[in-house]
Each structure stands twice: as C-alpha cells, then as structure tokens.
Amino acid sequence: MIDTTVDVINKLGLHARASGKLIEVTTKFRSTIQIGRGDHLIDAKNIMALLMLGAGIGTTLRLIVNGPDEELALAEVKALFAAKFYEAE
C-alpha cells in the first residue's frame, strides 16, 4: 500500500474535464485508488465522487493506492497531476 499526497496545480482544479482524465487513468488499473482530504477519502474511479471533492488549485490531496499494480498506477496519477491534466494555460 502506498499512502502519499498530490497537489492540484492546474488553474481550474479538479473540474469535470480534469476528473474525466483522472478516471481514464485510474480505471486502467486493478489496484484500488482512493483520493481525498485527510480521512475523507473517495474512490478515484468514481466520477461523481471526484467532482464532489471540490478540489481547487492549491489543494493538497491524500492519495492511497493498494494492489498488484500500485507502483505504476501511482506513477501515472502523479504524472497527470504534474502535467496539469494537459490543459492549456
């Protein structure tokens, strides 16, 4: 199990389009992926739960990945956040 954090650095935060891109990444993996604030974690494979997080720019989110492909899943999720969800600035 990997328990780490990720920062929301894209201008619009975790809005609908960014959440959709995150779903594209998370659903590829067998590992469970949870994201949220502190102990309030949601399933990172659930679009509605992601949208309800209301994570704007500057938010630090807790990320827990657990399963057979957790290392690769973590790397891809972190890369997506680091690339600002491939949005034009």
Nearest partner of 26 among 83, 60, 75, judged by Cα: 75
Quick check: is 15 catalytic?
yes
Q: Which residues, in sequence order, are bridge partners of residue 33? A: 65
Whole-number Å distance between alpha carbons of 40 and 75: 22
| Continuous segment of H or E residues that includes residue 23 | helix 16-26
Whether the Cβ atoms of residue 61 and residue 37 lie closer than 8 Å to each other? yes
Instruction: Write down the catalytic residue from 2, 9, 13, 15.
Output: 15
The residues annotated as belonging to the active site are 15
